[in-house]
Structure 1
């Protein structure tokens, strides 16, 4: 399992004109080159989820959950195999007793962060208009669902501190298919209602906070991996030991 920030763009966008000073960039490339990407996910109701992906010059990456520094969840050394923190927890995450259950919980937390990032990317698209430094602008985006489109407001803020904020908020749904007739088999009113119920509620938001600060060289070798498990079965008590055991950029 690797930390992959580049996602196939699924969304078709419609944009409101931005100021002439706006620049165009590739969101995928900006994410790949970021030292830190924070993902703030706020549902229409319930607990929010804060995740951070830290990337290093040697190919290391570390995913954390929570406020501040956060709790480490998944570590990848030099784009190699993943190491998972089996003791990682988050409010609402399932209880886990066995090694397998803890592994699945850690993987679920990983997917919650990466899936949220991928969802935001798919809505925004790869080509992004960025306003002048210190400015912000909002564009509209739409993505298809079975019977219409989901509508989003995308607010792009270009901070003077080399931080780019992209907040995606769901604003509505459209339904274009007319009511079904007696001979309809698939596109029935019940199916339409069921599909609509599966969509995320209006008001759900995701924000990517992308730092362009220089990447650190690597995760420190003395970081403890007590309670962690390596996907390759070759872990260690510390990052340094795991590097040597796994062969992923061993020093």
Structure 2
């Protein structure tokens, strides 16, 4: 009887082990550097609309950034083209220096989202080799305590990497101030707390690997686009020649 029970227990254990996905690790930094596209998605507050910022990388060094109906194309030799309908003031009325700053800010917006998530998760993440989600807890510091996050990581069968950090809690380790305090006052704590993202907000990266396309379609029209340099072309192909892109 004991032998039968032992065999049953062993069989159950083996079945359970067979159902557990093996975990691997990957460098999130390497995945970002080698990506053909990175989509950064945000939920800034519960009930808010999800926003998205996508950066596409090309083998010839061109970079296309998209959000809503806005687009910025980085080329070579400081040349960039801006298609930002509805921007106020209109991008066409800006000086060359101001246009270049808009292009720079767009580039930093994409980098900033990646850096914030990597800073929280670390450069190495775990993934399940069957494509399922793995969850872990992380924390980040703020002026008066810590923020807790649930990190979800996933590597899909096509190699796409998905990482999401959802805020679960804000912890104040200081507590109420006393009468006469000049630092760590309740007012300052409230002000710093107001700067933090709310609970259940999240940031997610969707990183596509694989070979990068050679470049943006040479025939793509640049009508309605504004250049960040004095010269302006009608198509991407003309722009490459005009700006001496290799």
Aligned partners of 1:73 and 1:88 also within 8 Å:
no
Number of the residue aligned with 2:190: 193
Deviation at 1:20, TM superposition (A): 8.0
Number of the residue aligned with 1:239: 236
Q: Distance in 2 between the 1:146 and 1:163 partners?
A: 35
1:38-117 → structure 2 map (5 Å cutoff): 38-44=39-45, 45-66=47-68, 71=69, 73-77=71-75, 80-81=77-78, 83-88=80-85, 95-97=88-90, 99-100=93-94, 103=99, 111-117=108-114
Q: Does 1:152 align with 2:145?
A: no
RMSD: 2.6
* Residues 192-201 or 113-122, more deviating: 113-122
Q: Distance in 2 between the 1:73 and 1:214 partners?
A: 22
Structure index of larger Rg: 2
For 1:120, which of 102, 117, 122 is the aligned residue? 117
Q: Residues 147-194 of structure 1: CA distance to partner in whole angstroms, max 9, x if unpaired?
A: 011111110111112211111111111111132233432311100011
SS of alignment partner, residue 85 of structure 1:
strand
Number of the residue aligned with 1:131: 128
Give the count of matched residue pairs. 222
Aligned partners of 1:40 and 1:206 also within 8 Å:
yes
Which is helix-richer, 1 or 2? 2
Q: Distance in 2 between the 1:35 and 1:23 partners?
A: 22
* Residues 142-151 or 48-57, more deviating: 48-57
SS of alignment partner, residue 189 of structure 2:
helix
Normalised by the length of structure 2, the TM-score is 0.78
For 1:164, which of 137, 161, 164 is the aligned residue? 161
Q: Does 1:26 align with 2:27?
A: yes
Deviation at 1:36, TM superposition (A): 1.5
Change beyond 3 A, Cα 1:88–1:129: farther
Deviation at 1:107, TM superposition (A): 6.4
Change beyond 3 A, Cα 1:184–1:247: farther
SS of alignment partner, residue 234 of structure 2:
coil
**Structure 2: segments with no counterpart, 5+ residues:** 1-19
SS of alignment partner, residue 149 of structure 1:
strand
**Structure 1: segments with no counterpart, 5+ residues:** 1-18
